[in-house]
Amino acid sequence: MWVESKLFLSIDELKPGMITAEAVFNSFGNVLLWDNTVLNDQMINHLKNMGILTVAVYKHQQHEITDTARMAEENVRRFAAEYENDARHTKKIFEEISSGKRLNKEEADNIADSVIKKAGNNRYIIDSVMQVRNVDEYTYYHSINVSLLCMMIGKWMKLSEKDINNLTLAGLLHDIGKTKIAPEILNKPGKLTDSEFEEIKRHSEYGYYILKETAGIPAEVATAILTHHEKEDGSGYPMGLTGDQLNLYSKIITVADIFDAMTAKRIYKNNDTPFKVFELMQHGSFGVLDPLVLKTFLENVTGYYVGSKVRLNTEEIGEVVFMNKLDFSRPVVLVNNRYVDTMVSKTEKIVEFL
């Protein structure tokens, strides 16, 4: 197949319409362009400005670009259908427990297996996480998203196959205890009373007991469900444990849970831009999140936002072309043929993710 044949061309040999065969990185390891990107004049000039000398592209004819685009669209549709199917099955599990039934472990394992099979589709995963969902079904989509993010982090940390399987299942079931909380509290749009908030906080304990009553659930998975709201400095709940008392699954779930919760549009809040979330996680979570897990997550996930469309406070629309490792929340944005480094600019900043 033509997609197996690639050439390494100098930057001056690149032409609009060529398709990248490999991701293009700068000298700091940041992604400038992902593989399977159809090049245009603007992208080629950007690579020149960034000092890129050679780029791997596929040998192809013009009609094959159309074939590639068609295949990409089909892959997106297939991924979206599988994602929705996973959410429906997750909803079924939650509803069964709410009605008094025990956890269907076989069904949970099937969903986790489906999540793991999506490994390698990270761009689709990130796109799905960022989609606005029906707020009434937030818990089910959140469970799938956290499971997907946990699987990705496990892969990035090069965990064993067994650990990734367990971690993916733990991410899927981390909020299963919410099935034991009254819907009027769980879905309350206004501010919770102190007693309501205390009841919400008990979901990690409820989840632990649900899993302990389920045959075949690994002990470390149940423990991670119990402790996924604990923090490194002991400020979490339900037991106020510190980082040295938490297992790795718990630490990873915490990062995935916070990222998805902060980027999601929910009943009582609008979603933050990913860049605002990056800022809070990178600079506002010292002592709260495990530094190794957080570093692994941010250094890998932020690259998928290269190419994103954003709105600046000047009302201009731009495209993210470079992520600053020193401050992931302030990328370089291409706006009307000029580069805006939001880490340096004192007047321009990102206000909306499009």
Determine, yes or no, domain membership for 323.
Answer: yes
For residues 300 and 341, state if they share a domain: yes
Determine, yes or no, domain membership for 215.
Answer: yes
For residues 251 and 142, state if they share a domain: yes
Determine, yes or no, domain membership for 219.
Answer: yes
Determine, yes or no, domain membership for 76.
Answer: no
Segment 201-226, tens digit of pLDDT: 999 999 999 999 999 999 999 999 99
From first to last of its 354 residues, the chain has per-residue pLDDT tens of 334 577 889 999 898 888 888 888 877 677 788 777 878 887 888 888 888 999 988 876 545 556 666 777 788 888 999 999 999 999 999 999 999 999 999 999 999 999 999 988 888 888 888 776 666 688 899 999 999 999 999 999 999 999 999 999 999 999 999 999 998 998 887 889 999 999 999 999 999 999 999 999 999 999 999 999 999 999 999 999 999 999 999 999 999 999 998 887 654 455 678 898 999 999 988 789 999 999 999 999 998 888 888 999 999 999 998 888 889 999 999 898 888 999 998 899 998 888
Segment 250-271, tens digit of pLDDT: 999 999 999 998 887 654 455 6
For residues 257 and 244, state if they share a domain: yes
Total domains present in the chain: 3
For residues 265 and 316, state if they share a domain: no
d(CA 242, CA 220): 17
For residues 37 and 149, state if they share a domain: no
The CATH number linked to 199 is: 1.10.3210.10
Place of tokens 């427990």: 97
53 near 10, Cβ under 8 Å? yes
Q: Which residues are designated catalytic?
A: 178
For residues 96 and 238, state if they share a domain: yes
Total-model pTM = 0.83
Q: What is the model's pLDDT at position 295?
A: 95
Determine, yes or no, domain membership for 96.
Answer: yes
Q: What is the model's pLDDT at position 2?
A: 39
For residues 177 and 238, state if they share a domain: yes
For residues 168 and 288, state if they share a domain: no
- Non-local (6+) Cβ contacts of 227 within 8 A are 204, 236, 239, 241, 246, 247, 250
Domain span at residue 13 reads 2-60
335 near 311, Cβ under 8 Å? no
The CATH number linked to 19 is: 3.90.105.10
